Amino acid sequence: MTTKKEIPTVLKILKKKSREFTSTALNDIAEERDPFKILISCILSLRTRDETTARVSKKLYELADNPKDMAKLSEKYIARTIKSVNYYKTKAKRIKAISQRLVLEFNGRVPDDINTLLTFKGVGRKTANIVIVYGFNKHGIPVDTHVHRVSNRLGWVNTKTPEKTEAALRTLLPKLYWMDINDLFVQFGQNICKPINPKCSECPVKKYCKYYKSLKTRPLKVK
Ligand code: SF4
């Protein structure tokens, strides 16, 4: 179990370890610091593999990389373009509607506060936080299944849903660390702290982990 004082150490270790991992699709898109592309790529990425998200995002932005141009595309055309992602029809509908609303109500700009972003259909807390952090360089904690799982295994939080994990992490962590958490935990969760069979034996932070300690103290099964 990590003590509050040890959190900076754990993050430092994970940061060093992350240099060994390949970047996620969102990392690459986030580098552009374009809130609109980050928002749309997030929607494309739901229940879709990283490589597919990256490829489809690129294809879509070749046709339209801003709300005004995207709003001009028909829903059918967007759907055809993004056909390789899961739920492409629903996503095409959302992308069209979001782009139209951005043009009509926000002068073609993505709003930079979470509460306004949450009023867009198809935008949940994870996506809103990602746009805030990677699009605007503002404080937020995007929590997906990896962040939720790793935070609970380490014992930083004890929560049942990503929304509750976000709230708990906001209370636990100084703002200084908020923007790093998603990046570090997603890569760590994809490569080491996997949902099934986490690679605990090769984990660089096992001595700070509640789950690992529970494994060691679990009684052996008697046959
Ligand atoms: Fe995850 Fe295992 Fe490392 Fe704990 S010790 S953080 S469960 S990989």
Residues 83-135 pLDDT 10s: 999 999 999 999 999 999 999 999 999 999 999 999 999 999 999 999 999 99
CA of 163 to the centre of ligand 1 (A): 22
The per-residue pLDDT for 27 is 72
Residue 111 Cα to ligand 1 midpoint, Å, equals: 37
Check if 10 has its Cβ closer than 6 Å to any atom of ligand 1.
no
Return the exposure string of 93-121: e unless at least 16 CB atoms fall within 10 Å of the residue's CB, then b. bbbbebbeebbeeeeeebbeebeebeebe
As a whole-number percent, the residues of the chain with pLDDT over 90 amount to 87
pLDDT single digits (tens) 177-220: 999 999 999 999 999 999 999 999 999 999 999 999 998 776 55
8-state DSSP, 135: I
d(CA 133, CA 93): 25
Q: What is the per-residue pLDDT for 223?
A: 47
The confidence band for 31, taking pLDDT boundaries of 50, 70 and 90, is confident
pLDDT computed for residue 99 by the predictor: 98
The pLDDT assigned to 221 comes to 54
Q: How far apart are the CA of 149 and the centre of ligand 1, in A?
A: 10
Query: Among residues 144, 160, 131, which one has the least CA distance to residue 46?
Result: 144
Between 148 and 222, the more confident residue is 148
Q: Which amino acid is at 46?
A: L
Q: Concatenate the DSSP letters of all residues of 47-74 into one string.
A: TS-HHHHHHHHHHHHHH--SHHHHHHS-
Q: What is the pTM of this model?
A: 0.90
Atom of ligand 1 nearest to the CA of 153: 7
| Across 35-51, average pLDDT | 94
Residues 6 or more apart whose CB falls under 8 angstroms from that of 211 comprise 152, 153, 154, 155, 198, 200
Mind listing the domains of the chain with CATH numbers? 4-21+141-217 (1.10.1670.10), 34-136 (1.10.340.30)
Model pLDDT, residue 23 = 73
Q: Which residues are CB-contacts of 161 (< 8 A; sequence separation ≥ 6)?
A: 148
Which of 14, 56, 55 is CA-nearest to residue 147? 14
